[in-house]
Structure 1
Amino acid sequence: MPAAQADPALVVRRDGAGPATSSESFRSWRREASCRAMGCEVFFPPEDEPGRERAAKAICAGCPVRLPCAVHALVNREAHGVWGGLSPADRERLSSHL
Structure 2
Amino acid sequence: MSLNVSREWKRDGACVSPGVDPDIFFAPPDGRKNWDKAAKLLCRVCPVKKDCLITAIEDGEMHGVWGGLNGSERLQFYVGNAPPQ
TM-score (norm 2): 0.77
Residue 96 (structure 1) shift: 3.8
Of all paired residues, the percent bearing the same amino acid is 32
Point out where structure 1 has 5 or more consecutive residues left out of the alignment. Answer: 1-12
Structure with larger Rg:
1
Cα distance change on mapping 1:97 and 1:59 into 2, 3 Å: farther
Match of 2:27 in 1: 45
Give 2:15's aligned residue: 35
Equivalent residue, structure 1, for 2:49? 66
- In the TM superposition, 1:1-98 aligns within 5 A as 13=1, 20-21=4-5, 25-26=6-7, 28-37=8-17, 38-46=20-28, 48-96=31-79
Counterpart contact for 2:62–2:72, Cα < 8 Å: no
Indicate the RMSD between aligned Cα atoms, in angstroms: 2.3
Q: Helix, strand or coil for the counterpart of 1:63?
A: coil
| Structure holding more helix per residue | 2
| Unaligned 5+ runs, structure 2 | none
